[in-house]
Structure 1
């Protein structure tokens, strides 16, 4: 046990949220054990002079009462009572209202010094009036419905020496009962205070103190289970255990409370008490099933049907049938509880939950306690053992939490180790992937640069070479000056390609006229040689200044388109138009040549047209070709 508690405390340190709760839990448990040991091992007080006087009960008799307010002491109908406790419901089934008990006892002192005696009664079911030698010495506060409820309350009275007679004395106890409980008188003791006090303390500890501690422990357990459930919503069994603890606490409070509850009469209080017990039995079944991670839908529906039918029967049965109905429903509830305890070991075995085996042992240990307490509740003979179950329940909850915290700590440790290995592997894989991605990015950059350079050479130098070939082709004799002009043009185009590829500070032409000037100068001479009429339409200023890249893209598209017209179209009229519409820069090149199939661009059979389309798409622009046998239109739209 010490080792288990030590391991539990070590595990609690890994979970701060439960640490304070467990300390409180252990404190109440240890306090309970210390209190119980101190009470059971109390040292008897040495006898004094008061022990010299003796009291001895000679005869106990009982007679029926009328049950009416202010009834008088009966003069006949007395019968002898062999022993206490005595409950008259078996003898007088038609009278469950009141009875009179007469206790004849002798009081003897060897000297003339009379000392007070103490009266101890284990329990009175329910309220009472007590007379000593025809003198009223005690009366409960509530003698009419709802009456005081003293059936779990041991009581003591000091009988003053002045009220005692040497020799024969008489105690008259008028007991007022209720229909649904076994009315009567519990064990009675008369003697010196030194002898009676341990007896009274024993009954008080058994019937009140232990039950109050049971209530306190169950409330702490209910709170603990709620907190465990709040921190881990997956453990739904703990919320069921919390509800179970609340209903058991409610059951004990109703049984222990001596005064009327919520202004309910005695019958209504007993009805409420039995209904709470039915709910408790149902919740106890569901709680342990959920703990074993099991659901029995049909059985659970049957249990709720039992609760509903029992509650309706208890509430609406006529009063004179209530005692029988209460006893039948109570027996059924106890049988359900017993069946739950008997069948749970098999359920725990099937669930394979480690903590379930310990709970199965706890359920088996509850069987004799359940039988004993059921017998006590039906006969009020013997003593209840359920108050002693609080330490067992507390120990069970502590064991379960310790085991689950230990398992959780192991799972967390394994998870952390697995996570660490996974992270390490992921880092290694990520480093490899990043290196590969970096290498691919470098290769892609190189490839893009090569593509861009190839496109610039094709659209720039290639176009200039084509134009030069056309000029040479149209002149049979090329003079030196013309050749130098052609070579200078090629040099300028090459310089432009180098500048646009390597320079970061390329500027936008100041206006559209300057942008079109260079390309117009190059192609007008060729168009004149080939008898092609050209029209150039541009705006005098920029509405929105485009970027240098946009200007260069339109320039390359125009060069490639005009070069294709010179090489392939056989056109005699060309129109070049550059305009701005709102935030769009639009270039249109139109000729009246023989046309071509635009699908060749999409299929990649024409490198020049494919290069134009790629350049425009790179700037998120729109490239359009409309071609018929007698006309071709190339339109480029760039968004500013």
Structure 2
């Protein structure tokens, strides 16, 4: 894999973003040029001419639908016209009478004229002289909406005559829109078609292109949010784009909508615009990783209150209600655009700087379009922002991708350094643990050796001391016998301590033979009667460690009897129970002692015996009183996991 430096990576991203922008701009220019270059040419266009002489308008007379009223006509200086100021609160039908002159150089070869109307508020009819030229597909609710739908017709020569002609246009007013008639052009087809194409491009092509690009942006933002759920800014951007798609579609869609009259459509359109503005603020703030809880609650309240007010307002007040909330929404949008540079400065995020520039560009566009929607004077600019918006989103995503890539690279570098450091620390820790384990093993070995010396060799020394005390005259052979016995016990301690895999005696009798041989002679010398009881064979063979442990326990117990008990009788037995346990009992009739002193650690030998048995998972019980002391040891022939692990 080839690794690029950070500056090289950033320059490549910027280069790709510029290329993408150029492609978008080129495609946009291509669409524009193809629309305006498609006007057909007519060779006879200049042979016949038409010129508008006078424009008049009047409110419709319900009894004269096919002609204008007889009186009440008002002369207009020019089109487009809005009758809101002239006829306040009038939302019914109105007639426009456009008188134009028509002349042809060669009357025998009259050429048809082209008629183009920029917009009709909702629905209507068009007559040339008294001939019906066009009637909308629906003149009753739900009716069509032609405010942004230009129309183009060819006027047949048979409907025209030399001199004065009358164009009648009936317009259905709107409760929520500014009612009136747009520009009207009459002339040769080539020139009229050129103006008509410009209207179509501005009012239909660009909004639909805008909607399609915003739909693509919404899909991209949804995908980005789906991959990185923590970045909620892209979810809000997706909702903003979806809201704009719905809003712009309702604006440009002219056919009747099922179950919705024209007022309902305008209500829905304004509700969507309120949510669009609020979602835009939240998305911009989340993109800068900022939140303003109090302001956001106010925005939520505005959106839901606006939706409820617009949806429920009576028809008599719907126009004023929509104007109020639309004006507030525009002010919120402008406030967001004006304040975002400061938010971007505070966030210190590169892509927010570019977004703040984008919002500043939108400020004059928003003001211009708000004025246009209020006065219908000038030209809307928002349809031209689609390529700019898509390019902006592409560049912003490129910046975000570059920043995330740098953060990932820095994280990977830090992670690798931490892994190397952790490996070093782990190696060092393992070394320390290994050293401690060795020291612990050595210490355990010393403890085991001390127990073996105490229980094995210690018992032999005690027996030797007792022998010397009982015999006032010791000859050389007796001394040598004692020393040889000590040497044998010492070698046994060393051998059993160095190898736990020593041979197990064939029978319990063979196991007990060395112990019995050592202690019977001493017991007889001090007049202690001993009784030994062992089974003839093993039902289940014990381990060498179990045999050694029982030997050490027996030696320690019998040595204690010799030293402290003053007993006259001793019994030793080794049996195997039905539960596959080795059971050893040692009993004497001596003076006894307090067993609680063993738990307190005052009897080192007995404490050592208990520790040995516990390591093998067995039990060690003592019952003692004057005249009777019993020690009972139980070892499982199938050692528990814990016992084997401790051993």
Instruction: State the TM-score, normalized to the length of structure 1.
Output: 0.88
Counterpart pick for 1:415 among 402, 411, 416: 411
**Structure 1, unpaired ranges of 5+:** 14-18
- Partner of residue 280, structure 1: 276
Contact kept in structure 1, 2:25 and 2:387, CA below 8 Å = no
Q: 1:213 to 1:436 in 2, by over 3 A?
A: same
Q: 1:234 to 1:139 in 2, by over 3 A?
A: same
Alpha-carbon distance, 1:275 to partner: 0.9
Provide the rounded CA distance (Å) in 2 between the counterparts of 1:261 and 1:584: 93
Alpha-carbon distance, 1:627 to partner: 5.0
- Does residue 48 of structure 1 match 2:18? no
Which string of whole-angstrom CA distances, capped at 9 and with x for unpartnered residues, describes residues 333-364 of structure 1? 22222222223333333333333232222222
Counterpart pick for 1:362 among 358, 363, 378: 358
Provide the rounded CA distance (Å) in 2 between the counterparts of 1:541 and 1:281: 96
- Partner of residue 211, structure 1: 207
- Partner of residue 179, structure 1: 175
Provide the rounded CA distance (Å) in 2 between the counterparts of 1:201 and 1:259: 20
- Partner of residue 457, structure 1: 453
SS in structure 2 of the partner of residue 165 of structure 1: coil
- Partner of residue 3, structure 2: none
Q: How many residue pairs are counted as aligned between the two chains?
A: 630
**Structure 2, unpaired ranges of 5+:** 1-5, 639-647
Alpha-carbon distance, 1:622 to partner: 3.9
Counterpart pick for 2:98 among 99, 103, 122: 103
Q: 1:532 to 1:332 in 2, by over 3 A?
A: same
SS in structure 1 of the partner of residue 530 of structure 2: strand
Q: 1:403 to 1:23 in 2, by over 3 A?
A: closer
Two-structure CA RMSD over aligned residues (Å): 3.4
Which string of whole-angstrom CA distances, capped at 9 and with x for unpartnered residues, describes residues 382-439 of structure 1? 2222222223332332232222222222222222322333333333333333333333
- Partner of residue 312, structure 1: 308
- Partner of residue 317, structure 2: 321
Segment drifting more, 156-165 vs 571-580: 571-580
Instruction: State the TM-score, normalized to the length of structure 2.
Output: 0.87
Contact kept in structure 1, 2:243 and 2:276, CA below 8 Å = yes
Counterpart pick for 1:614 among 606, 611, 617: 611
Q: 1:72 to 1:48 in 2, by over 3 A?
A: closer
- Partner of residue 80, structure 2: 85
Provide the rounded CA distance (Å) in 2 between the counterparts of 1:414 and 1:560: 69
Contact kept in structure 2, 1:67 and 1:97, CA below 8 Å = no
- Partner of residue 62, structure 1: 57
- Partner of residue 579, structure 2: 582
Q: 1:253 to 1:45 in 2, by over 3 A?
A: closer
Provide the rounded CA distance (Å) in 1 between the counterparts of 2:236 and 2:215: 14
Provide the rounded CA distance (Å) in 2 between the counterparts of 1:70 and 1:239: 52
Provide the rounded CA distance (Å) in 1 between the counterparts of 2:59 and 2:172: 11
Contact kept in structure 2, 1:65 and 1:71, CA below 8 Å = no
Provide the rounded CA distance (Å) in 1 between the counterparts of 2:311 and 2:305: 10
Provide the rounded CA distance (Å) in 2 between the counterparts of 1:545 and 1:9: 81
Provide the rounded CA distance (Å) in 2 between the counterparts of 1:129 and 1:224: 44
Provide the rounded CA distance (Å) in 1 between the counterparts of 2:377 and 2:60: 23
Provide the rounded CA distance (Å) in 1 between the counterparts of 2:34 and 2:273: 30
Counterparts in 2 of 1:43-442, with a 5 A limit? 48-65=43-60, 73-112=68-107, 113-442=109-438
Q: 1:94 to 1:443 in 2, by over 3 A?
A: closer
Alpha-carbon distance, 1:607 to partner: 4.4
Q: 1:524 to 1:72 in 2, by over 3 A?
A: farther
Provide the rounded CA distance (Å) in 1 between the counterparts of 2:317 and 2:227: 48
Contact kept in structure 2, 1:67 and 1:176, CA below 8 Å = no
SS in structure 2 of the partner of residue 49 of structure 1: coil
Alpha-carbon distance, 1:147 to partner: 0.5
Provide the rounded CA distance (Å) in 1 between the counterparts of 2:117 and 2:128: 14
Provide the rounded CA distance (Å) in 1 between the counterparts of 2:20 and 2:532: 96
Provide the rounded CA distance (Å) in 1 between the counterparts of 2:93 and 2:28: 40
Counterparts in 2 of 1:535-614, with a 5 A limit? 535-538=531-534, 542=538, 544-579=540-575, 580=577, 582=579, 584-596=581-593, 606-614=603-611
SS in structure 1 of the partner of residue 317 of structure 2: helix
Segment drifting more, 158-167 vs 102-111: 158-167
